[in-house]
Amino acid sequence: MLDAMPNTAAKLPVAISAINAIIDDMPSITIRKLPENTKRRLRIRAARNGRSMEQEAREILKTELGQPARAPKNLADAIREIFAPFGGVELRIPPREPIPESKIK
């Protein structure tokens, strides 16, 4: 009579292993110390798009990380680009001369 009943206890570890395999394929992250203002804006954006906050965060990450990486700008070029509309300044650079002996000491 006992042999006719399926052994569910023997199948339990297999089911747990299968669930763990599914969970391992779906990584998750926890974001700590998220500013309250950022959390509020995420909640509002999620509601506007009809999604949960978690869904909205996933969508933001997927969209942002799906774009090609931008090359960092050269700092001098970035400054020049900002101030170019204001025009330039021509400075007269005096010719270089040797330092007088009296100022070396």
CA separation for the pair 4, 7 (Å, rounded): 9
**Closest to 70 (Cα-Cα) out of 80, 78, 60:** 78
Residue 90: the pLDDT is 82
Residue 87: the pLDDT is 84
**Closest to 58 (Cα-Cα) out of 7, 49, 35:** 49
CA separation for the pair 42, 56 (Å, rounded): 7
For the chain, the domains span: 35-67
Indicate whether 10 pLDDT > 70. no
Cite the beta strand spans of the chain per DSSP E. Answer: none
End-to-end Cα, the chain, rounded Å: 109
What backbone torsions phi and psi does residue 70 show, to the nearest 5 degrees? Answer: -90, 135
Indicate whether 1 pLDDT > 50. no
Q: With a threshold of 0.85, does the pTM exceed it?
A: no
SS3 of 21-64: the string is HHHHCCCCCCCCCCCHHHHHHHHHHHHHCCCCHHHHHHHHHHHH
